[in-house]
């Protein structure tokens, strides 16, 4: 019997069964090796079998695994303090996934907006091409009809706007809008690096209209762009920021970073989570953020990014089947003439794992610890898989 039959079919899974990982490679149960340019969708930033991560997990496992949020524990407090020291934030809420982080950010933004503007100030605006998760509110903020349509009605009071300053000037009404949520680099929506000038204008506009700016850095944050946080490139600071994917080295964890102004509006009882920020995951995450904020690692990601951009541009120039190349750091997208799903399959058959981001975009998210020669091997396999 095919044992995949017992898993609910929400994913179309590739046929091989992964049993082991080492560095930037995964191995299946037949001994085939795959260079991994997906990192478990931006989760495994340190690759596989990282010695330090393994040790951090062992040490954390010797301590408490779970203690209710009704009581204080040191690892979560230390991790929150680390984020307060390394970002705009004044307070941190821990949860268990990206979608959960965004749902919580919507709640905190509405809590604050209601305090300053009353009940009518509750609308949330997201952008064309956005992906913020698959729960009812985050799905309403996600611009993918095939994800949304089967589940209507979605959460109310959430709309999608074009990535256009004029349209946003019309939509971000100070009386009715609580928050604007933005991915500084849109991931699932095709790897779109939002223009620095556009982000600066959005920040000015949201300040003027007293609209909370939520940055979703679940995919692009924590070193992926070559900066600890993607928004550092543009010099803006948000009111709230969500992170998740690589945060706890593969353990499920999300976080909402909150400015002092938003934090002031939140009271005990306003939100909750059973598992969020438990001592085991928090201790592991404390190790991971130390690694991902290392200036040598970040500088390497930036220089890999510059090299990848040049190399992919050159590839696009000598071929007719790449329409566009976009990206930053170790987050790249190629618009392809062929369906992305076909390229993903052919690459896998050549020992390279890549992702799609829409029907005609191939997405590359290698581990942040990858070496230049490994990147070059991957790109050669990718080019051979294009047709």
Ligand X SMILES: *Cc1c(COP(=O)(O)O)cnc(C)c1O
Phi/psi for 18 (5° steps) reads: -80, 130
Length of the chain: 387
Q: How far apart are CA 102 and CA 221, in angstroms?
A: 14
Closer Cβ to ligand X, 53 or 105, answer by number: 105
Cβ proximity of 223 and 298 under 8 Å? yes
Among 21, 47, 104, 187, the residue binding ligand X under the rule CB under 6 A is 187
Nearest distance, CB of residue 74 and ligand X, angstroms: 26
For the beta carbon of residue 226, count every other beta carbon within 10 angstroms: 23
Radius of gyration of the chain (CA): 21
Stretch that binds ligand X, among 1-9, 25-33, 95-103, 273-281 (CB under 6 A): 95-103
Nearest distance, CB of residue 57 and ligand X, angstroms: 20
SS3 255: strand
Which residue of this chain has its Cβ atom nearest to ligand X in the complex?
98
Q: How far apart are CA 326 and CA 335, in angstroms?
A: 8
Q: Is 361 in the site for ligand X (CB under 6 A)?
A: no
Binding mask 241-280 for ligand X (x = CB under 6 A): ---xx-----------------------------------
Closer Cβ to ligand X, 322 or 367, answer by number: 367
Q: How far apart are CA 271 and CA 105, in angstroms?
A: 10
CA dihedral 280, 263, 211, 84 (to 10 degrees): -60
Q: Is 218 in the site for ligand X (CB under 6 A)?
A: yes
Binding mask 118-157 for ligand X (x = CB under 6 A): -------------xxx------------------------
Closer Cβ to ligand X, 133 or 279, answer by number: 133
Burial tier of 296 (Cβ tally within 10 Å: 0-12, 13-18, 19+): exposed
Closer Cβ to ligand X, 47 or 98, answer by number: 98
Residues near ligand X (CB under 6 A): 97-99, 102, 131-133, 183, 187-188, 216, 218-219, 244-245
């Amino acid at each position: 019997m095919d044992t995949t039959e017992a898993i609910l079919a929400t994913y179309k899974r590739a046929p091989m069964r992964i049993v082991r990982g080492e560095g930037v490679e995964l191995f299946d149960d037949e001994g085939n090796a795959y260079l991994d340019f997906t990192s478990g969708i931006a989760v495994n930033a340190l690759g596989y079998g990282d010695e330090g991560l393994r040790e951090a997990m062992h040490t954390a496992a010797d301590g408490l695994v779970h203690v209710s949020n009704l009581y204080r524990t040191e690892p979560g407090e230390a991790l929150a303090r680390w984020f307060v020291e390394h970002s705009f934030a004044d307070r941190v809420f821990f949860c268990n996934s990206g979608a959960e982080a965004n749902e919580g950010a919507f709640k905190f933004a509405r809590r604050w907006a209601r305090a300053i503007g009353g009940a009518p100030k509750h609308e949330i605006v997201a952008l064309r091409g956005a992906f913020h998760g698959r729960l009812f509110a985050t799905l309403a903020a996600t611009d993918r009809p095939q994800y949304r349509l089967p589940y209507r009605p979605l959460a109310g009071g959430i709309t999608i706007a074009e990535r256009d300053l004029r349209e946003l000037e019309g939509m971000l009404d100070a009386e009715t809008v609580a928050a604007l949520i933005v991915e500084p680099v849109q991931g699932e929506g095709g790897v779109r690096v939002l223009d620095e000038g556009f982000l600066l204008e959005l920040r000015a506009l949201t300040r003027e209209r007293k609209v909370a700016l939520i940055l979703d850095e679940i995919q692009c944050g924590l070193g992926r762009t070559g900066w600890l946080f993607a928004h550092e490139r543009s010099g803006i600071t948000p009111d709230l920021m969500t992170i998740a994917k690589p945060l706890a080295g593969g353990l499920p964890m999300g976080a909402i970073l909150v400015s002092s102004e938003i934090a002031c509006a939140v009271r005990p009882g306003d939100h909750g989570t059973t598992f969020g920020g438990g001592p085991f995951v928090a201790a592991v995450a404390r190790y991971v953020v130390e690694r991902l904020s290392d200036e040598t690692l970040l500088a390497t990601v930036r220089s890999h990014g510059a090299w990848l951009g040049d190399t992919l541009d050159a590839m696009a120039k000598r071929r007719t089947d790449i329409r566009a190349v976009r990206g930053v750091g170790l987050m790249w997208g190629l618009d392809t003439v062929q369906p992305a799903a076909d390229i993903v399959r052919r690459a896998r058959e050549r020992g390279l794992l890549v992702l799609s981001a829409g029907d005609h975009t191939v997405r590359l998210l290698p581990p942040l610890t990858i070496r230049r020669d490994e990147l070059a091997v991957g790109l050669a396999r990718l080019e051979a898989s294009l047709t």
